[in-house]
Structure 1
Amino acid sequence: MRTKVVAGNWKMNNDKKESKQLIKDLKKSIKKEKLKNTRVIVAPTFVNLSSSVKAAKKSKIEVVAQNMHQAKNGAYTGEISANMLKAIGIETVILGHSERRTYFNETDETLAAKVDAILENKLETIFCFGELLEDRKSDNHFAVVESQLKNALFHLEADAWKSIILAYEPVWAIGTGETASPEQAQEMHAFIRNIIEKQYNKEVADGVSILYGGSVKPANAEEIFSKPDVDGGLIGGAALKVEDFTAIIKAI
């Protein structure tokens, strides 16, 4: 049975006090939830990671990082390495978010190097990818997604996929209020699983959790999560409100 995952990407939101309070409220809100085979994840900003890890101790909440650099150390002003994250208790890193690709010019080549660094340091990644609106309109969305996965991940050995969670995020549905229909999400997730099976084998394809991200909210979460190849969600804005995030967690 694949692990279900509900991950909240807080992006550049919440100061230290707000982050600790949100974790405290979330701990209380989900304390009595059974969460069978389900992981609850939050990704605060770098400066709040350490305090958030402490705030989440002895709870069902995992704290992860939003990004990291591929180098071990060096003259990379403003960047954070895998060792720095591990030293404060971080075990999982989000990579490849469309905002990183768009605003910070992250390429498939860069992301492949970051994934390699993740695995070398025995960390786990939530790897994001997805098409632009023009790709969807031109019926090129499958080719774009396949290219992103092949270029960044298909150089890996099959065993490496035990440390990878995929997050399909159609860029046109991130922060726009637009959402892929449950049928569109399922269609793409099934396609993703199929190309992984072709590259590796059925065991790898069936074992990897594939999350959907793109304006998931309490009103649509249950229907999206009900699809057979959707294993949870990478949540943006709704993860900043404890009531909404809790409702989405319960929907899985």
Structure 2
Amino acid sequence: MNINKTLLTLAITLPMTFNALAGQAEIDTIEQAAGTLNISALETIAQEVSGYDKALAYYRLGLSENLSGQTEPAIVAIDQAIELLEQLNSNSVDDVEIKALLAQVYGYKIALEPLKGMYYGPKSNEVLAQANALDPNNPRVQLVTGISKFSTPAIFGGDSKEAYQAFDKAITAFSTDSNSNYHWGFAEAYTWRGLTYSKAGEQEKAKQDWQLALNVNPEYNWAKILLEQNQ
């Protein structure tokens, strides 16, 4: 199983036309485009939105381009997301959502360019620690914490048990997050927690979590793929 090649592959049909959306509608549209690796739609969305939403669109664009084998454009998109988020973070030093996304984007920068890990790793850890200090119950803070703990080698601080705890905490927090206007990542949290079960050899619990991800989002393709691969 190649986790990197299936990460965040959501099978949701993207509405091909949209106007100037606000709040959660923008987040939903970005996530829908990312679900089908719809690069052209994400490029369009990134030009139509601003602020946090623009940074999220560039992050999802970078993911989609990389998963489609377009590494260089992915690096450009991630760099754009980093630049935007760093500016936003400088202007809103107590915004936990900006810090959580920035930590995740720094982490993905390392995935794209591992030799830059010595630079971006500490930056990701620092801003994620700040996010945890601001709101340790934020679901995306815990989701990103879990991804970091799961993906980082043990020698550099990775820990599957701590990853499980973070994903479990994220799932609990997502139950009251639907009106946050930043609501993304719920199905991901179940899917990642399932991966911690799978890594521990508990395949039935893993499959239960992947099914729970589909209960949250019946079209979530990553969970579908994992279930199919582990029948």
TM value normalised by structure 2: 0.35
Which structure would you say has the larger Rg?
Answer: 1
TM value normalised by structure 1: 0.33
Greater fraction of residues in strand: 1
Greater fraction of residues in helix: 2
Which structure carries more relative contact order (alpha carbon 8 Å, separation 6+)?
Answer: 1
